Chain A
């Protein structure tokens, strides 16, 4: 027969296994902070260097006058790659510290759950750009990103859920006030990420 202490250890281990196998906890708060900083810099460049400011939908300027659009798309993709790259790098480090693998079944499930809304949104956004509806691009990136976070929250920190809701709301508001697309985009991807990352960092990593 086992000792009392052993049963208590068994229970602690079971609890940790249940958590580890259902939620991916190697995400780092620092990744959100970095993503926020990249987004703010990107928005600043788009605003200053490319004078990017998508007008209202009915605005004639929505069509044609975005000679810089390919550059903006390139900039956005660069920010995305940088943010995802940083997140991967920091997760690898954090997973190592926790004695876990960075790429495990929990990570796969988290990614699949994010990929479906993000993929659908990405395709829709490219179609909209092709049709010249540039004003809706920034709001919809926020909405679909928010949806993917909301969906992913079951498989990682629960707080991701509220982050998702904030992004969805920001996206919807900004789709109404189309003239402020870039501002809302900087707010959602920049400031909200930054604040959220600081919160996560202090809550889980100290």
Chain B
């Protein structure tokens, strides 16, 4: 039991971070505005959570320009995919464990 909880990664404690990872799991790449639309959060809030995930190297950033406007796109890294999958497995175990 304790072991399972340890595997619930701290980086995913916040629901917004979990949301970001969920959305990026099924999309190759999304820009800031698309993420904002799906998650329904403020700019500042989203930016700080994205920074946090970036620091963990769970997501990557690609900066391009659309005309003169900068466009930042986010994608999930290999490490992020693994961490997310592990997190899901841990969640699954936790819920099954309690139900049994």
Residues of chain A having any CB pair with chain B under 8 Å: 1, 4, 7-8, 10-11, 13-15, 17-18, 20-22, 101, 104-105
User: In the complex, how many residues of chain B place their beta carbon closer than 8 angstroms to a beta carbon of chain A?
Assistant: 20
Check: B23 CB closer than 8 A to any chain A CB: yes
Sample 21 A-B pairs with CB under 8 A, ordered by A number: A1-B5, A4-B95, A10-B15, A10-B18, A10-B91, A11-B91, A13-B18, A14-B18, A14-B19, A17-B38, A18-B23, A18-B25, A18-B26, A21-B26, A21-B27, A22-B27, A104-B37, A105-B33, A105-B34, A105-B37, A105-B38
B15, B18, B25, B30: the one contacting A105 at CB < 8 Å is B30
Task: Determine the chain B residues whose CB is within 8 A of the CB of A11 once the complex forms.
Answer: 91, 95
How far is B18's CA from A46's CA once the two chains are assembled, in angstroms? 55
Contact of B94 among A7, A17, A21, A22 (CB under 8 A): A7
8 closest residue pairs by CB, A with B: A105-B34, A14-B22, A22-B26, A21-B23, A17-B22, A104-B37, A18-B26, A21-B38
